Amino acid sequence: MSDTLVNTPATEPKKKKGNPKIFWIGVAIAFLSAWILAFTIALIEYYALGAGPLTPRLLQLFEDGVGLSGLFSFFVFLLSWVASKGAFDMLSYSLQVLFNTIFRPHYREKGFPKTFYDYKIIKNAEERKPLLALFLVSLLFIVAGFVLMMIDLGASH
Tens of pLDDT, residue by residue over 15-40, are 556 678 888 898 999 999 999 999 99
Q: Note whether residue 7 is domain-resident.
A: no
Query: What's the confidence (pLDDT) of residue 104?
Result: 83
* Confidence category of residue 157, pLDDT binned at 50, 70, 90: low
**Total of domains in the chain:** 1
The pTM score is 0.72
Is the model's pLDDT at 47 over the cut of 60? Answer: yes
Q: Note whether residue 5 is domain-resident.
A: no
Tens of pLDDT, residue by residue over 90-122, are 888 889 888 888 888 777 777 788 888 888 888
Q: Average model confidence (pLDDT) for the chain?
A: 83
SS (H, E, C) the chain: CCCCCCCCCCCCCCCCCCCHHHHHHHHHHHHHHHHHHHHHHHHHHHHHHCCCCCCCCHHHHHHHHHHHHHHHHHHHHHHHHHHHCCCCHHHHHHHHHHHHHHHCCCHHHHCCCCCHHHHHHHHHHCCCCCCHHHHHHHHHHHHHHHHHHHHHHHHHC
Percent of the chain with pLDDT over 70: 83
Query: What's the confidence (pLDDT) of residue 1?
Result: 47
Q: Note whether residue 79 is domain-resident.
A: yes
Q: Are 15 and 132 in contact (CB under 8 A)?
A: no
Q: Note whether residue 14 is domain-resident.
A: no
Q: Note whether residue 127 is domain-resident.
A: yes
Q: Note whether residue 85 is domain-resident.
A: yes
Q: Which domain holds residue 132?
A: 20-156
Percent of the chain with pLDDT over 90: 31
